Amino acid sequence: MDVRKYSGIKIRDMILSGEVKVEEVVNAYLKRIEETEGKIDALLYINKHEAIEIARDMDKNGPDPSKKLWGIPIVIKDVLTTKGIPSTCASKMLENFIPFYDAEVVRRIKEQGGIIIAKSNMDEFAMGSSTENSAFKPTKNPWDLDRVPGGSSGGSAASTAASQSPISIGTDTGGSIRQPAAFCGVIGLKPTYGRVSRFGLIAYGSSLDQAGPITRTVKDAALMLSVIAGKDKKDSTSSPNPVPDYLQEMEKYKDLKSIKIGLPKEYWQEGLDPDIQKKSEEFFRLLKELGAELIEISLPHTKYAVATYYIIVMAEASSNLARYDGVRYGYRTKDAEELIDMYVKTRSEGFGFEVQRRIILGTYVLSAGYYDAYYKKAAQVRRLIRQDFLDAFSNCDVILTPVSPTLPFKLKEKIHDPLTMYLADIFTTPLNLSGLPGISIPVGLGDNLKLPVGLQFIAPPFREDILLGIADRVEGELDPLPEPFGLKS
């Protein structure tokens, strides 16, 4: 069975019709992992034995068509807790942490018959844009093994691009689903804040974090969102809004003739990579041919987004990461003389460099005397950024932007220049600050570098249905991407 050919939906159909057994499916993906993992280093843990055992049980009891993910292998970012399986956040701090409970996202996946086949690599505690901040290993981009897969969900995106599973889960605090999806040529959906429960999502920036699917087809993303979305009493910020059947609901938005697409002039400026510019122009032409109306809009506070995001996210991170003190769980230093010494050594040894930088900066912006100047100001600007979007949506249905100003960059190219790395988050962070949903879709390979180009559609809160409908339509019009070049031979 050549797993590269199949979407998650197709796999489930084949199992339900009796064409394949769940065990065959799981074995085929494990084999694919074996063939590709040495090249891309996308995974931190392969759940081989449990996955095979579950598959056998499922085959014994016969297919259950009421389960939406029956038999589909799924890769989970290591920031989500998985019962009995290491959940490390790619940090030394949690290297030996085996949670005794599933994140709500994971629980829902299992409830629908999805099989957790592996945990994926990431930037430590989801802090980064290249997966180079993993304490264990950098992941490589399947299109070019000398380049980064993006981050922080680079393991999930690279894994899905390499068909190690049809579907993976990432999390997005400032772009970490959409940017790696764009870099690896797959689909990444960041849902509206509150659409998906954060219970068991190890916190980075609690007011920004959101889990979502990374897939190779838009329909798989729609299916996944229907499974993981919805109110959870264990997360008070999860929304009670009813969850539609996205696969059905999105059909309403596939006719682009009645759709008005806003192009924010602050996003479409000089400085974009020429490959991205060129592919985007071709994509605009396609949208017009399909009948969509493209209009220029303005999001005037865009220029403050990166600064605002980094102040808020570092403040929240410094507070969230205070729990790793060497006392309750996680890493503890071997040689401490007294309590304070134990805290200091535990945290200095357990956290990587980027995490420590953010804790220090986050503590600084929250400190008495600076709180008003930095944190409070950032919280105010955040409101203005959100208001820009809400105003824009009175003139258009969705907004279209680049995901990243650059194509996947070389490993080590930016890792010693944090400011350049942060600035690359310019097009993704505004959505997290505003709580809005966004989808990143591949629109082709660049003419010069032959690397995937991803673009982002943004919708009003809770309108993932429109995003999915439009994305599904254009996916049908675009040429499918070939197999990632780095995996050949």
C-beta of 128 vs 155, nearer to ligand GLN: 128
Query: Of 156, 80, 74, 168, which is closest to residue 115 (Cα–Cα)?
Result: 74
Residue 425 sits in the site that holds ligand GLN (CB under 6 A): yes
Q: Mark whether 318 is an active-site residue.
A: no
In whole angstroms, give the CA distance from residue 6 to residue 29.
Answer: 11
Answer whether 350's CB lies under 8 Å from 93's CB: yes
Least Å distance, CB 358 to ligand GLN, is 8
The four Cα atoms 175, 444, 6, 117 give a dihedral, to 10 degrees, of: -30
Runs of H (alpha helix) within 199-333: 218-228, 246-249, 274-289, 305-320
Task: State the angle between helix axes of 218-228 and 464-477 in degrees (0 to 180), rounded to the nearest 10.
Answer: 160
Nearest residue (CB) to ligand GLN, 27 versus 420: 420
Residue (301 or 414) nearer to ligand GLN, CB: 414
Residue 448, CA distances (Å) to 275, 384, 451 in order: 7, 38, 8
Residue 404 as a binder of ligand GLN (CB under 6 A): the answer is: no
Residue 376 neighbours by CB distance under 10 Å: 13
Q: Which residues contact 412 (CB under 8 A, 6 or more apart)?
A: 132
**Contact track, ligand GLN, 294-323, x by CB under 6 A:** -------------------x----------
Pseudo-torsion of CA 427, 191, 9, 243, nearest 10°?
A: -160
32 or 119: CB nearest ligand GLN? 119
* Binder of ligand GLN out of 134, 173, 280, 440 (CB under 6 A): 173
Give the interface segment with ligand GLN, choosing from 171-179, 192-200, 220-228, 241-249 (CB under 6 A): 171-179
Handedness of CA 348, 350, 356, 359 (dihedral sign): negative
Residue 144's beta-bridge partner residues? 141
Q: Which of the stretches 64-72, 167-175, 383-391, 452-460 binds ligand GLN when contact is defined by CB under 6 A?
A: 167-175
For residue 214, state whether it binds ligand GLN (rule: CB under 6 A): no
In the region spanning residues 174 to 203, those forming contacts with ligand GLN, defined by CB under 6 A, are 174-176
Two tokens, residue 290: 């399909």
Which is closer to ligand GLN, CB of 226 or CB of 432?
432
Closest to 119 measured CA to CA, from 80, 161, 77: 77
Catalytic residue among 129, 152, 153, 404: 152
Smallest CA-to-CA distance from 313 within 357, 351, 266 is with 357
Judged by CB under 6 A, the chain residues 109 through 128 that form the site for ligand GLN are: 126-128
Query: Smallest distance from the beta carbon of 335 to ligand GLN, in angstroms?
Result: 32
Q: How far is the CB of 215 from ligand GLN (least distance, A)?
A: 18
One residue of 87, 129, 141, 217 binding ligand GLN per CB under 6 A: 129
- State yes or no: is 152 an active-site residue: yes
- Name the segment binding ligand GLN (CB under 6 A); options: 168-176, 366-374, 400-408, 467-475: 168-176
Which range binds ligand GLN by CB under 6 A, 94-102, 170-178, 217-225, 332-340? 170-178
Of 231, 233, 169, 158, whose CA–CA distance to 201 is shortest? 169
Closest CB to ligand GLN among 127 and 468?
A: 127
Q: Which is nearer to ligand GLN, 223 or 313 (CB)?
A: 313
List active site positions. Answer: 77, 152, 176
Binding site for ligand GLN (CB under 6 A): 126-129, 152, 172-176, 204, 313, 425
